[in-house]
Amino acid sequence: MKGLGVARRWAGLALTVLVAVVALTALPAIAQDAAKEPAYRSFPVIGSRLAVWGVAQLHLNFAAFILGCPIFAVIIEIIGWRTRDERYDWLAHEFVKLTFAAFSTTALLGAFLLFLFVGYYPKFWTYMTSIFFPTYGVYALLFFAETFIVYLWYYGWDWLSGPRKWIHVSLGVLSNLVGTAILFVANSWVTFMISPAGVDEAGALKGSVWAAINNFTWMPINIHRLIANIVFGGTIAAAYSAFRFLSARTDEERARYDWMGYVGNFVALSAFIVLPFAGYWLGREIYAFNQTMGITMMGGFMSWLWIVQAILIGVLFLGFNYYLWLGMERIPGSERYRKFVPPMLFILTIGFIVWATPRTLVVTLDEVRAMGGTHHPVIGFFGVMSAKNTVVNLMILTTFLSFVLYRRANRISVKPWARTGMAVQWAALFVAAAIVVFYGVYGYFVESIVRIGFSVYQVLAVLSCILIVMAIDIPMFKGARSTGTIRWGTIAPRSQYVLILLAVTFTWLMGLMGFARSGIRQHWHVFGVLRDTSAEAVTPALGYAANVITIVTIVFFALVTFIFWLGGLGEKGKAGAHGHAAPVIAGASGGED
């Protein structure tokens, strides 16, 4: 039965790859035929744009998961390999299993999306083919290689163990390199639509396709998406572990999935802290390419979209911190740090309020007259980017402090220089906060072009603080005295609902940012080059977009739940199968575990 199941999976894989490769290789011929036909076709009932939107978002959600999850899976496997700790090897295998379960769905959605583009937007796809045809073959080969490397990585876990473990780890690293290359190729198509390069006034390619690939927003989106994929993969994996924790019947199983949820959340939080910085870079490059596009994005009809984004980001910050604070209750000795929770909550709450404050309020004419303008005389000061950049950096510092306190919750340093080290750490935090606040206030007294540059200094201050604190913390707590082992599995059940909330919120946020990225093109397929002349050539209202994103998010989680349920069927009655008996996690020591 095991061999039959493997054979069926390989057959399903072969069919998926065949569909994707055939689709990609057939596109040039289909595109040439499509050029003789109408520029647009109408998808039944819901329309072409909505069909493409929904399928594209679903595909991107699954693609983000299967590209992000293996990154920290291989890191965890390397940790287990070097430390000879079976817990990490088991956890890495669990994460790859989640990736494995979603792989075919991602490929099939991608193939479906291609057919939608070719069939319902033939003029657009003909043009994109004329520019990026050389990349189609590269993409197909990379996808083919990624598929088989991941399968070898998963099925060769036991075969390539022991002295051959380095070969298995190399497969994991290679799969991530190929997956990142796939991401970069696909991003070249998306970013060309936002910031086209390498074409003349008529839209024809002037020279090498590399000029079109290496456009203004290509590398910023590469970095932004790569980090976001790690956050997304971590939140989905943590949500999966939360589901398993809540349905567990034994203390050992709850301990195992409690630890898995913590690791997934830790990886997501680590990447989330630096994600805003990548967003700053992307926004700056959009402004550099076209200021009108940047103003439309931040100060035009999309300005209220960022208020929604601010609320979602606030939920993420509060959720990540609340989970860490709840987790400290299972750590003996953490009581000495709980006094820091109220002030940290205060900073996060004030930051959330300022971050979500709009510049221009929705008011009546009488209210405008009473205020003396469209901007409120008091809270209007908090609606500009000087205030928002300041509070988001303070929220990042606060979240980082929560993690540092959690990390050392059950450990006491025995180093003779520990007191000095902690003093330097606190000084670094206060200096970074002072720099952030100084440039935030100073930004009100300079021109906007100068104010934008201040965000760089704020970011550098925060990143420098993080590096300094961790450079001291790691050696300071090496060989530290333990105040007790972590009681895995004893965390409050509400913490697991927080993990699920984080996954749903970040998924919704990804959809919202995808709408923002596409919406700033307005009535252009390729901004300034290829105009959208279809009947649906209008940017939808924010309320409509929110409804679409919500439906797509619900469908995504329904599919994920079903796929993970199918993947879990094989575990029933097969405890310890494939040489991967779940290790005992309860009583694991060390706040960093």
Per-residue pLDDT band for 590 (boundaries 50, 70, 90) equals very low
Per-residue pLDDT band for 484 (boundaries 50, 70, 90) equals confident
pLDDT for 592 equals 44
Kindly write down the DSSP assignment for every residue of 240-277, as one continuous string. Answer: HHHHHHHT--SHHHHHHHHHHHHHHHHHHHHHHHHHHH
Taking the CA atoms of the chain, what radius of gyration do you get in angstroms? Answer: 25
Mean pLDDT in residue range 434-452: 83
pLDDT in tens, 505-562: 999 999 998 898 888 888 899 998 999 888 888 888 888 999 999 999 999 999 988 8
Is 452 in the same domain as 505? Answer: no
Per-residue pLDDT band for 218 (boundaries 50, 70, 90) equals very high
Is 397 in the same domain as 381? Answer: yes
Q: What is the DSSP pairing of strand 481-482 with strand 530-531?
A: unpaired
Mean pLDDT in residue range 416-420: 92
Domain-embedded: residue 435: yes
What percentage of the chain reaches a pLDDT higher than 70? 85
Mean pLDDT in residue range 273-294: 83
Is 469 in the same domain as 559? Answer: no
Domain-embedded: residue 326: no
Residues 6+ away with beta carbon under 8 Å from 1: none
Is 481 in the same domain as 519? Answer: no
Q: What distance lies between CA 436 and its chain's CA centroid? A: 25
Tokens 């700790």 locate to 85
Q: How distant, in Å, are the alpha carbons of 11, 63, 136, 544 from that of 24?
A: 20, 17, 6, 32
Average pLDDT of the chain is 83
Please say whether the beta carbons of 507 and 556 come within 8 A.
yes
3-state DSSP of 63-94 = HHHHHHHHHHHHHHHHHHHHHCCHHHHHHHHH
Mean pLDDT in residue range 453-463: 85
Is 107 in the same domain as 208? Answer: yes
Domain-embedded: residue 585: no
Please say whether the beta carbons of 425 and 408 come within 8 A.
no
Between 10-19, 187-196, 310-319, the lowest mean confidence (pLDDT) is in 10-19
Kindly write down the DSSP assignment for every residue of 365-381, as one continuous string. Answer: HHHHHHHTSSS-TTGGG
pLDDT for 578 equals 46
Domain-embedded: residue 578: no
pLDDT over 60 at 588, yes or no: no
Per-residue pLDDT band for 591 (boundaries 50, 70, 90) equals very low
pLDDT in tens, 547-584: 999 999 999 999 988 877 776 665 554 544 444 556 66
Is 445 in the same domain as 525? Answer: no
Residues 329 and 409: their CA atoms lie apart, in Å, by: 10
Please say whether the beta carbons of 484 and 332 come within 8 A.
yes
Residues 6+ away with beta carbon under 8 Å from 86: 80, 583
pLDDT over 80 at 390, yes or no: yes
Please say whether the beta carbons of 399 and 269 come within 8 A.
yes
Is 122 in the same domain as 154? Answer: yes
Domain-embedded: residue 592: no
Q: Is 8 exposed, middle or buried (0-12, 13-18, 19+ CB in 10 A)?
A: exposed
Is 454 in the same domain as 507? Answer: no
Bridge partners for 546 per DSSP: none
Residue 130 one-letter amino acid: S
Is 147 in the same domain as 219? Answer: yes
Domain-embedded: residue 593: no
pLDDT for 574 equals 52
Neighbours of 404 (CB within 10 A): 18
Neighbours of 198 (CB within 10 A): 18
pLDDT in tens, 248-258: 888 888 998 89
Q: What is the DSSP pairing of strand 524-526 with strand 530-531?
A: antiparallel
Q: Is 412 helix (H, G, I), strand (E, B) or coil?
A: strand
Per-residue pLDDT band for 449 (boundaries 50, 70, 90) equals low
Is 361 in the same domain as 495? Answer: no
Instruction: Specify the number of domains making up the chain.
Output: 2
pLDDT for 355 equals 82
Is 359 in the same domain as 303? Answer: no
Tokens 């088991």 locate to 90
Q: How distant, in Å, are the alpha carbons of 43, 549, 551 from that of 54?
A: 13, 8, 9
Q: In the listed set 485, 510, 534, which residue is the last one of a domain according to the structure?
A: 485
pLDDT over 60 at 196, yes or no: yes
| Strand extents, DSSP E, 121-225 | none
Domain-embedded: residue 497: yes
Residues 439 and 374: their CA atoms lie apart, in Å, by: 26
Domain-embedded: residue 580: no
- If you count them, how many residues does the chain have? 593
Is 56 in the same domain as 181? Answer: yes
Per-residue pLDDT band for 51 (boundaries 50, 70, 90) equals very high
Q: Which residues form the domain of 337?
A: 332-485
Residues 6+ away with beta carbon under 8 Å from 466: 273, 400
Q: Is 575 exposed, middle or buried (0-12, 13-18, 19+ CB in 10 A)?
A: exposed
Q: In the listed set 429, 451, 485, which residue is the last one of a domain according to the structure?
A: 485
pLDDT over 50 at 114, yes or no: yes
Q: In the listed set 485, 516, 531, which residue is the last one of a domain according to the structure?
A: 485
Q: Encoding tokens for residue 138?
A: 């590269």
Which carries the bigger pLDDT value, residue 186 or residue 103? 186
Mean pLDDT in residue range 406-423: 91
